[in-house]
């Protein structure tokens, strides 16, 4: 019996080993297949198909393979804005591409600056006498901005197009915290530093409203100007001031209302759109069938048109997403990860360094670590230039201070120069249940900060002094970098965010331009001639093929990652965004964080991934709110 048991254990071990070996071989083969770059043969003469099912971002995140495997739905797609622009520019001058097709049926959105860059690239395609076509279901602001740059826009008969404009309600928790007897101890500097207001008030302060009205007003004017330039026949005023009346004129049919207004050109199903594309680009020679048109997708096209690698390298480091301590990212700007990338690049023969910032800020200490790493390049006496994307505020501006030149777009949100910290205490809540504290203290700091029995006056005073010191350092850094008077900081700091035009007038940025302009300036400062340099993107992490493979094997499918519905579906998706905002605000209160340089008024940096480090306490409070709401 003992011998049989040993034989059985051996057989089980052999079986387990073989299963593990087969799984490793399978994933190795899948990894190799996904790692293989498509060759030129993968390009078909016909249309360039940009199937943007998801969000456009500055830096795609690298999802955890295990999380993907265990997830109940497919992850949302993320598309690097720079890749889309490069693909379109190459298509404009390549005879293999005769047209561009934008499939926006699953498009979620992107930052305003990114969409402007893509729109400019679409205009370049049209300038090369190549047509651009778009198909969508529920067009909202971001999708409409891209569609405006197309020659022919199709909408599904059950779909429509609506323009909502920037802004909306922010969630305030003061009433809830009062009921829970939770005290939010806030330490801040700056009249306009309103990131802490959700914990203190039941609505926005007058200063916050003033700043946000000016900020969003400027962005809205930029949006309307961009749209009107491409579609001047559309009466934006009528559509945005009386949307209900406008829709009613078309019998409540959103698709017909959009066509009558000139927002779309044709109403038709996807099958009808595909047949139209067969007329334009020809039949698909590899996948024959009704409505199968010749096209090349984004991935194959990018592989077929590699980036220039000639001449000296100008390094580009990306600071995208919330700036956090640790090794987080891509998708989050983990300071340890970015510092590691910069330190590794110190040994490279770089002619210059461009810092691409698309961040509303975050941890002050993490921002300082990145700033110090950038300063090491100054010692090499090479040009350091900043290129601001959609948002470069608070900590995002802190990391920009070592530069000699700052480029921003008119739609860039920057500034928000101010700092804060929030520490919740639960002494009043616990006292309701008879829980109190007491003990021996040898100094005023003994046992502090005590979240359970409250902060002592000495500790509160020390925290506020620390915040004031950090603010003085912030405005000093900005003043020295931008040659601004610290005594006049109330004019450009105080935590107030600015749109690109106002920021340039104040001297917070030097000139308007995108990443290409920043690279060209760095090359010129390094005395490099055109064609004698190229951009080297430091630490550029593509989504791993293994993660892609597991995403394909997961229980979700591509349809789950799309909006794929009408206007009501899009409205439902906004409810999910609201829940994400609730969770994030609660996490900021309950999470363990130090001094923050973060911009609340700034729009969240677009991402398709769930935020890391979600707080269980925040989730429990959110669940309680939703339960009360349900009753």
CB under 8 Å to 619, separation ≥6 — which residues? 583
Q: How do strand 54-57 and strand 107-110 relate by DSSP bridges?
A: parallel
Q: Which residue has the tokens 């003043």?
A: 479
User: Are the beta carbons of 362 and 326 closer than 8 angstroms?
Assistant: no
Out of 105, 363, 394, 400, the active site residue is: 394
User: Are the beta carbons of 136 and 143 closer than 8 angstroms?
Assistant: yes
CB under 8 Å to 237, separation ≥6 — which residues? none
Q: Which helix (H) or strand (E) holds 57?
A: strand 54-57
Alpha-carbon distance of 300 to 519, in angstroms, equals 26
Q: Is 391 exposed, middle or buried (0-12, 13-18, 19+ CB in 10 A)?
A: buried
Dihedral sign for Cα atoms in the order 159, 164, 165, 170: negative
Dihedral sign for Cα atoms in the order 100, 104, 110, 113: positive
Dihedral sign for Cα atoms in the order 94, 100, 103, 109: positive
Is 224 one of the annotated active-site residues of the chain?
no
User: Are the beta carbons of 432 and 179 closer than 8 angstroms?
Assistant: no
DSSP state letter for 561: G
Out of 130, 183, 193, 259, the active site residue is: 193
- For 116, 258, 381, 533, the CA distances from 224, given in Å and listed in that order, are 12, 17, 42, 37
Tell me which long-range contacts 465-468 makes (C-beta under 8 A, separation of at least 24).
Answer: 466/187, 466/421, 466/595, 467/187, 467/188, 467/189, 467/419, 467/420, 467/421, 467/595, 468/189
The DSSP-derived string for 303-360 is HHSPPP--SEEEEEEEEES-EESSS--SSSEEHHHHHHHHHHHTTS-EEEEEEEEEE-
CB under 8 Å to 28, separation ≥6 — which residues? none
The DSSP-derived string for 99-160 is EEEEE-TTEEEE-HHHHHHHHHHHHHHHHTT-EEEEEEEEE-HHHHHHHTT-SEEEEEEEEE
- For 27, 404, 521, 570, the CA distances from 386, given in Å and listed in that order, are 41, 8, 10, 35
Q: Is 559 exposed, middle or buried (0-12, 13-18, 19+ CB in 10 A)?
A: exposed
Is 607 one of the annotated active-site residues of the chain?
no
Alpha-carbon distance of 512 to 214, in angstroms, equals 19
User: Are the beta carbons of 248 and 254 closer than 8 angstroms?
Assistant: no
Which of the residues are catalytic? Answer: 193, 394
């Amino acid at each position: 019996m003992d011998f049989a048991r040993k034989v059985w254990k051996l057989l089980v071990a052999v079986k387990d080993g073989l299963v593990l070996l087969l799984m490793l071989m399978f994933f190795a083969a899948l990894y190799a297949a996904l790692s293989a770059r498509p060759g030129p043969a993968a390009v078909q003469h016909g249309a360039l198909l940009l199937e943007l099912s998801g969000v456009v971002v500055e830096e795609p995140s690298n999802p955890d393979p295990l999380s993907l495997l265990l997830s109940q739905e497919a992850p949302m797609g993320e598309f690097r804005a720079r890749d889309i622009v490069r693909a379109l520019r190459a298509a404009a001058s390549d005879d293999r591409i005769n047209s561009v097709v934008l499939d926006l049926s699953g498009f979620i959105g992107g930052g305003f600056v990114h969409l402007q860059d893509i729109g400019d690239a679409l205009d370049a395609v049209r300038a090369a006498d190549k047509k651009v076509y778009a198909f969508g279901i529920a067009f909202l602001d971001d999708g409409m901005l891209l569609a405006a740059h197309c020659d022919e826009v199709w909408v599904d008969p059950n779909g429509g197009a609506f323009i909502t404009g920037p802004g909306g309600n922010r969630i305030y928790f003061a009433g809830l915290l009062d009921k829970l007897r939770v005290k939010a101890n806030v330490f801040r500097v700056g009249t306009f530093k309103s990131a802490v207001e959700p914990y203190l008030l039941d609505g926005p302060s007058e200063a916050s409203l003033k700043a946000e009205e000016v900020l969003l007003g400027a962005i809205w004017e930029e949006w309307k100007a961009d749209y009107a330039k491409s579609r001047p026949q559309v009466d934006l005023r009528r559509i945005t001031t009386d949307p209900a009346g406008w829709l009613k004129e078309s019998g409540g049919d959103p698709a017909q209302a959009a066509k009558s207004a000139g927002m779309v050109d044709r109403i038709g199903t996807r099958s009808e759109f595909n047949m139209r594309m067969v007329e334009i680009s020809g039949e698909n020679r590899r996948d024959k069938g009704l409505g199968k048109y010749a096209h090349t997708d984004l991935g194959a096209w990018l592989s077929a048109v590699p980036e220039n690698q000639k001449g000296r390298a100008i390094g580009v480091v990306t600071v995208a997403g919330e700036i956090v301590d640790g090794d987080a990212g891509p998708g989050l700007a983990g300071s340890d990860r970015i510092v590691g990338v910069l330190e590794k690049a110190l040994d490279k023969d770089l002619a210059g360094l461009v810092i691409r910032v698309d961040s509303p800020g975050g941890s002050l200490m993490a921002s300082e670590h990145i700033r110090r790493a950038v300063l090491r390049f100054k010692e090499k006496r090479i040009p350091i230039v900043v290129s601001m994307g959609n948002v470069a505020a608070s900590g995002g501006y802190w990391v920009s201070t070592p530069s000699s030149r700052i480029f921003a777009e008119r739609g860039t949100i920057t500034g928000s120069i101010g700092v804060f910290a929030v520490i919740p205490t639960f002494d009043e809540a616990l006292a309701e249940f008879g829980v109190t504290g007491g003990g021996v203290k040898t100094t005023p700091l003994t046992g502090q900060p005590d979240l359970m029995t409250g902060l002592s006056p000495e500790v509160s005073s020390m925290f506020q002094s620390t915040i004031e010191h950090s603010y003085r350092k912030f405005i000093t850094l900005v003043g020295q970098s931008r040659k601004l008077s610290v005594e006049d900081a109330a004019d450009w700091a105080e935590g107030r965010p600015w749109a690109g035009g106002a920021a340039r007038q104040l001297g917070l940025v030097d000139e308007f331009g995108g990443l290409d302009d920043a690279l060209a300036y760095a090359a010129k400062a390094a005395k490099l001639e055109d064609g004698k340099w190229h951009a080297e993107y430091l630490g550029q992490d593509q989504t791993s093929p293994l993660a892609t493979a597991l995403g394909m094997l997961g229980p979700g499918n591509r349809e789950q990652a799309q909006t794929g519905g009408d206007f009501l579906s899009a409205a439902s998706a906004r409810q999910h965004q609201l829940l994400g905002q609730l969770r994030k605000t609660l996490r900021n209160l309950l999470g363990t964080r130090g001094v923050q340089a973060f911009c609340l008024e700034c729009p969240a940096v677009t991402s398709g991934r769930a935020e890391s480090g979600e707080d269980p306490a925040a989730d429990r409070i959110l669940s309680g709110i939703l339960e009360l709401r349900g009753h």
